[in-house]
Structure 1
Amino acid sequence: MAKISYQNLTEERDQLKEILSKEHRILQDISPDLVKLLGERNMQVQIHSDEWKKFGNSFYYFSTEQKTWSEARQDCRDRGADLVIINNLLLIQIFLYLLHSFLLDAEKEGVWKWVDGSPLTIKFWKSGEPNNDFGNENCAAFSPLSEKNKAWNDLDIAGWTCEFTPVFPRIYN
């Protein structure tokens, strides 16, 4: 009788191990989505303040300070966002209208990239720009149009714009 009881306990233990293993795999599968959802829930609270503006499916924070590229990117990350990527004509029009800065990274001098690593394909540099005048101008900023469609200047510090695109956009409607 003790042998049957021991065998039953062993089988039950093995079943519990299997159940625990399955539950652990399920938890690992949903954990990243849960983290994103919780982050977006917290972001939703921030976004409904006057600091964030919605255009299309994304939200934008327009800084009023000036910082270096690295400092500005960290500020965006602290807000649960990243530096803006201007990759369509609507965003270009918005930024031209607002005359606001955005930041690009020039890891290698003369090679400008967005924070996602994509190359700069649409360019509106003013004549003579980018010129890296102060030796470390990794910020691109809009300035009033002095030439048709030429409004970008490179600077060492600038204001910046954070962009946040929700993974679950339905919670922001």
Structure 2
Amino acid sequence: MTKERDRLQSRYGSLSAERDKLQKMLNYGFQQCLRYFVRNSMSWNKARQECRSKGADLVIINSREEQEYLSQMVTGEAWIGLSDSAEEGKWMWVDNTNMTTGFWWQGEPNDYEQKEDCALIGSKFAKDKITTWADYPCEMELRAICEMKAND
């Protein structure tokens, strides 16, 4: 009985922590969006077209909490809705807003060989699940994270 009680108390603690995490995400506006992964790998532009064909767009990350959450969800690498294609060094979201807070991996963005204009989020870069962005060539084929805003 004691082992079972301890197991249940431990499980209760885990569930309580998960509930608190989900509540925190709701408080930061996560309830206003549906996010999903594009299963097939494709270029940044094709991924964006795929998202838009479903009434969504590539994900925009506006807070540390959202970054932490998405970093935990990504296995490998996935496109996000950020690029400096229009003007080198000026990172813009797909909704045409400036990037104000970045979560770049050390040494990124680096525009390696002047060919990297699209941003990804990647678990292979992360030690802390915060600094997980890198710039890559937009033609590279990766999965993507789409985001659909909830109707008000």
Shorter-normalised TM range: 0.5 to 0.7
CA contact (8 A) 1:68 1:139 kept: no
Alignment of 1:22-33 (within 5 A): none
Aligned letter for 1:58?
C
Aligned letter for 2:59?
V
Note if 1:104 corresponds to 2:79.
Answer: no
CA contact (8 A) 2:37 2:144 kept: yes
Structure showing greater radius of gyration is: 1
Q: Percent identity of the aligned residues?
A: 34
Residues in 1 aligned to 2:116 and 2:143: alpha-carbon distance in whole angstroms: 13
Is there any run of 5+ residues in structure 2 with no aligned partner, and where?
1-29
Aligned letter for 1:155?
Y
Is there any run of 5+ residues in structure 1 with no aligned partner, and where?
1-54, 169-173
Q: Secondary structure at the match of 2:36?
A: strand
Aligned letter for 1:141?
L
2:148 to 164, 167, 170: 164
Note if 1:151 corresponds to 2:135.
Answer: no
Residues in 2 aligned to 1:125 and 1:67: alpha-carbon distance in whole angstroms: 22
Aligned letter for 2:102?
K
Q: Secondary structure at the match of 2:135?
A: strand
Residues in 2 aligned to 1:58 and 1:147: alpha-carbon distance in whole angstroms: 25
Structure with more relative contact order (C-alpha pairs < 8 Å, separation 6 or more): 2
Residues in 1 aligned to 2:101 and 2:73: alpha-carbon distance in whole angstroms: 18
CA contact (8 A) 1:69 1:104 kept: no
Paired residue for 1:56?
A: 31
CA contact (8 A) 1:69 1:105 kept: no
Alignment of 1:125-140 (within 5 A): 125-140=104-119
Paired residue for 1:123?
A: 102
Q: How many residues are paired up?
A: 114
CA contact (8 A) 1:126 1:147 kept: no
